Chain A
Amino acid sequence: MPKLFRYGLPIVLLILGAYYYFSPSENAIDNSIPEVVDYNYHIRPILSDRCFKCHGPDANKRKANLRLDTPEGAYAAFKDNKAMHAIVAGNPNASDAYLRLITKDTSQRMPPMNSHLTVSVHEIELIEKWIKQGAVYKPHWAFIKPVQSTLPEADKDWARSPIDYFVYAKMEEKGLSPSEEATKEQLLKRVSLDLTGLPPGLDMQDRFLQDNSEKAYEKMVDELLASKHYGEKMATPWLDLARYADSHGYQDDGLRTMWPWRDWVIHAFNSNYSYAKFLTWQLAGDLFPKPTKEMLLATGFNRNHKITQEGGVIDEEYRVEYVNDRTNTFSKSFLALTFECARCHDHKYDPISQKDYYSTFAFFNQVPEKGLFGTIDASFADPPNMSISTKDVKAILKFINKKDTSSVDVMIMADSTHRRPTYVLSRGNYDMHGAEVTMGLPKSILPFDGKKYGQNRLGLARWLLDKNNPLTARVFVNRIWAQIFGRGIVKTVGDFGMQGELPTHPELLDWLAVDFQKNGWNIKRLVKQLVMSATYRQSSTLTKNALKTDPENIYLSRMSRIRIPAEQIRDQVLASSGLLNREIGGPSVKTYQPKGLWEVATSGRGSLMNYIQDHNQDLYRRGMYVFIKRTVPPPSMLIFDASNRDQCEVQRGRTNTPLQALVMMNDPHVLESARIMASKLSQEQGNLENKIKQSFRKIICRNPSKKEMDLLTIYYQQEEESFKKSPQKVQKLMKIGEYKLEKARNTSATAALMLTIQLIYNMEEAIMRV
Chain B
Amino acid sequence: MENEFLKNRLNITRRHFFGQAAAGIGGLALGSLLVPDLFKGGESSQAMPLGLAHFAPKAKRVIYLCQNGAPSQYESFDHKPLLNKMAGTDLPESIRGGQRLTGMTASQDKFPLVGSFYGFKQYGKSGAFVSDLFPHIGSIADDLCIIRTMNTDAINHDPALTFLQTGAQVGNRPSMGAWMSYGLGSENKNLPAFCVLLSRGRGNGQGVYSKLWTNGFLDSTHQGVVFSSSEDPILYLNDVEGIDKAGRRRMLDQLAELNHEGFQENKDPEVEAKVQQYEMAYRMQTAVPELTDLSKEPDYIVKMYGPECLVPGTYAANVLLARKLSESGVRFVQIYHQGWDSHGNLPKEMAMQAQDVDRSSAALITDLKQRGLLDETLVIWGGEFGRTNYCQGQYTLDNYGRDHHPRAYSIFMAGGGVKPGTVYGETDEFGYNVIKDPVHIHDFHATVQHLMGINHEQLTYKHLGRRYRLTDVAGNVLPGLIA
Contacts and interface: CB of A to CB of B under 8 A. Distances in A.
A600 B21 CA distance: 40
Given A117-B22, A603-B205, A764-B262, A657 B220 contact: yes
B32 A631 contact: no
Interface residues of B, number: 107
A603 B156 CA distance: 14
B207 A116 contact: no
A348 B236 CA distance: 45
A630 B158 CA distance: 13
Given A22-B7, A656-B274, A600 B200 contact: yes
Interface in A641-690: 641, 644, 646-647, 653, 655-663, 665-668, 671
B120 to A, nearest CB: 29
Contact of B274 (A647, A730, A764): A764
Contacts of A114: 457
A341 B464 CA distance: 10
Given A19-B14, A22-B10, A601-B210, A11 B32 contact: yes
Given A117-B22, A604-B205, A313 B156 contact: yes
A319 B155 CA distance: 16
Interface stretch (B130-138, B265-273, B433-441): B265-273
Contact of B240 (A597, A663, A666, A722): A666
Nearest to A19: B14
B255 A603 contact: no
Interface string B371-400: 000000000000000000000000000000
A314 interface: yes
B103 A311 contact: yes
A657 B273 CA distance: 9
A5 B247 contact: no
Given A596-B230, A765-B262, A733 B242 contact: yes
B403 to A, nearest CB: 8
Contacts of A541: 265-267
A638 B223 contact: yes
Interface string B218-248: 0111010110101010111111111110011
A755 B243 contact: yes
B22 A762 contact: no
Contacts of B304: none
B201 to A, nearest CB: 12
Contacts, number: 309
B170 interface: yes
Interface in A310-327: 310-315, 321
A736 B14 contact: no
B186 to A, nearest CB: 11
Given A311-B103, A644-B214, A18 B7 contact: yes
Given A310-B157, A638-B223, A656-B277, A338 B250 contact: no
A5 B401 CA distance: 50
Interface stretch (B46-54, B79-87, B109-117, B143-151): B46-54
B118 interface: no
A561 B240 CA distance: 31
Given A561-B266, A602-B207, A314 B220 contact: no
Contacts of B17: 15
A561 B274 CA distance: 14
A5 B13 contact: no
Contact of B271 (A2, A722, A732, A764): A764
Interface string A293-330: 00000000000000010111111000001000000000
A263 B158 CA distance: 30
Contacts of A314: 100, 102-103, 106, 155-156
Interface stretch (A93-101, A410-418, A451-459, A489-497): A489-497
B56 interface: yes
B261 A633 contact: no
A494 B207 contact: no
Contact of A15 (B31, B47, B206, B248): B31
Interface of A: 2-5, 7-12, 14-16, 18-19, 22-23, 26, 49, 114, 116-117, 250-253, 308, 310-315, 321, 332, 338, 341, 348-350, 372, 492, 494-495, 497-500, 540-544, 547, 551-552, 561, 594-597, 600-604, 630-633, 635-636, 638-639, 641, 644, 646-647, 653, 655-663, 665-668, 671, 705, 707-708, 711-712, 714-715, 718-719, 722, 729-733, 736, 751, 755, 758-759, 762-765, 770
Interface of B: 7-8, 10-15, 17, 21-22, 28, 31-32, 34, 39, 41, 47, 49-53, 56-57, 60, 100, 102-106, 155-158, 170-172, 184, 198, 200, 205-211, 214, 219-221, 223, 225-226, 228, 230, 232, 234-244, 247-248, 250-251, 254-255, 257-259, 261-262, 265-271, 273-275, 277-278, 280-281, 284-285, 313, 403-404, 453, 457-458, 462, 464-466
Given A4-B57, A314-B156, A666-B238, 15 more contacts: A4-B52, A4-B56, A250-B158, A321-B170, A542-B266, A604-B205, A639-B235, A655-B219, A658-B278, A659-B236, A662-B285, A708-B258, A715-B251, A729-B244, A732-B240
17 contacts: A8-B52, A11-B28, A11-B39, A11-B49, A22-B7, A313-B156, A348-B466, A494-B464, A541-B266, A594-B230, A594-B235, A635-B235, A638-B210, A661-B277, A755-B247, A758-B251, A763-B259
Instruction: Across the A-B interface, give the 7 residue pairs with the lowest CB-CB distance, nearest first.
Output: A499-B465, A603-B207, A631-B209, A732-B242, A312-B104, A733-B242, A661-B281
